[in-house]
Structure 1
Amino acid sequence: MFKGPEELRIVQLADTLADKIWDEVIKWDYFAKNTLGMQIVDSADSIGANIVESLGRFHIREQIRFLHISRGSLWETKRWLNRALRRKLLATKKFKELMGIVENLAPQLNAFITKKHKDGV
């Protein structure tokens, strides 16, 4: 029986990504935290938040809209991860770990969006 959105694998994966990013950003110096750090934490947190918000929406169109926002946040997070690597804020090993989560989450989120589209037909 479904008890809540936190049981969904994509929400758990989004939360894992956001938590791992937080764990890295919290170690950065003040300037890095206040620039790139705030952006990447916000975008990573937004992935799961928008998935959960979509589940609270009544109309399928609204649900899909919030899932699209979540997907946009996922791509934004990917962009910030690349910037963090280029600016030497992330070690290559940590970057690959985080990008692995992004690459795992992206098709799952797309499949969830596709399912919602089919549910609305």
Structure 2
Amino acid sequence: MKTSKFIPLKGLVVYQMARQLSTIAWNIFSNLTFEQKKIIGDQFLRATDSIGANIAEGYARFHYLEKIRFYHFSRGSLSEAIQHWAELMLERKIIDVATFDELKQIHDSLEIKLNNFISVTYKNAQNK
């Protein structure tokens, strides 16, 4: 008989990394002008915050396909936040290269971990 150990949401590395991105995004947003917040900052912050929110919602779902669906949403939000909004902020000189590099480094690692998390969720459901 297999024994599985329940990991609380805050114990998930993917969730911890998503929260780390949210913290960085909030720090960026807090330093924007009103115009920058309205035009680009709000969408960047929403996309970044939805990464962790979708992981949390998916993790609370019962059926593995529902879980995976929300993890896919999270992956999409990750791409939107960093590959679109953060790159635009870099191009428009709203953030510096060091800040972008920090975001990109977390993005690259989290993207791999999210893909693995999705695969493991699927495989675990198939092995039951």
Determine the C-alpha separation between the residues in 1 that align with 2:61 and 2:102: 33
Structure exhibiting the larger radius of gyration computed from Cα positions: 2
Matched, 1:6 2:4: no
The equivalent residue for 1:112 is: 117
The equivalent residue for 2:59 is: 55
Determine the C-alpha separation between the residues in 1 that align with 2:14 and 2:40: 25
TM-score when normalising by structure 2: 0.90
**Stretches of structure 2 lacking an aligned partner (at least 5 in a row):** none
Q: Give the Å deviation of 1:120.
A: 2.4
Q: Match for 2:31 among 27, 43, 46?
A: 27
TM-score when normalising by structure 1: 0.95
The equivalent residue for 1:41 is: 45
Matched, 1:91 2:96: yes
SS in 1 for 2:45: helix
Alpha-carbon RMSD across the aligned residues, in angstroms, is: 1.1
The equivalent residue for 1:16 is: 20
Matched-pair identity in %: 37
The CA deviation string for residues 73-103 of structure 1, in whole angstroms up to 9 with x for no partner, is: 0000111110100111001111111111111
Determine the C-alpha separation between the residues in 1 that align with 2:29 and 2:47: 13
The CA deviation string for residues 19-66 of structure 1, in whole angstroms up to 9 with x for no partner, is: 111101110100101111000100000001101111111111100100
Determine the C-alpha separation between the residues in 1 that align with 2:59 and 2:25: 24
Determine the C-alpha separation between the residues in 1 that align with 2:99 and 2:67: 33
**Stretches of structure 1 lacking an aligned partner (at least 5 in a row):** none
Q: Match for 2:86 among 81, 86, 92?
A: 81
| Count of matched residue pairs | 121
